[in-house]
């Protein structure tokens, strides 16, 4: 799993959605967190290249990116 969202911290601002180069992040409409926000989710984890743009743009530090050695991202 290259990217993980802390759904309780997410305020549904949509910055991660806007900056994802693969366009695989969306804001859920069927679910709300305990604060009443629609959190972000990834549609296809296997398409994530772990570039980290979503995490860099998140003002709530609700996204963690895990890079596998030798694959994708800025270093690989």
Question: Does 36 reside within a domain?
Answer: yes
Question: Does 32 reside within a domain?
Answer: yes
Question: Does 50 reside within a domain?
Answer: yes
Whether 57 has a pLDDT exceeding 50, the answer reads yes
Question: Does 73 reside within a domain?
Answer: no
**pLDDT tens per residue across span 5-18:** 999 999 999 999 99
Question: Does 74 reside within a domain?
Answer: no
Q: Supply the DSSP string of 64-75, one letter for each residue.
A: EE-PPTTSSTTT
CA dihedral 42, 27, 18, 66 (to 10 degrees): -30
**pLDDT tens per residue across span 38-49:** 999 999 999 999
Confidence of residue 1 (pLDDT cuts 50, 70, 90): confident
Confidence of residue 75 (pLDDT cuts 50, 70, 90): very low
Whether 72 has a pLDDT exceeding 80, the answer reads no
pLDDT of residue 67: 81
């Amino acid at each position: 799993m290259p990217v993980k969202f802390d759904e309780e911290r997410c305020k549904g601002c949509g910055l991660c959605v806007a900056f994802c180069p693969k366009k695989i992040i969306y804001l859920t409409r069927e679910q709300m967190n305990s604060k009443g926000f629609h959190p972000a989710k990834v549609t296809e984890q296997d398409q994530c290249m772990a570039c980290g743009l979503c995490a860099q743009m998140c003002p709530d530090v609700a996204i963690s990116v895990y890079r596998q050695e030798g694959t994708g991202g800025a270093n690989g």
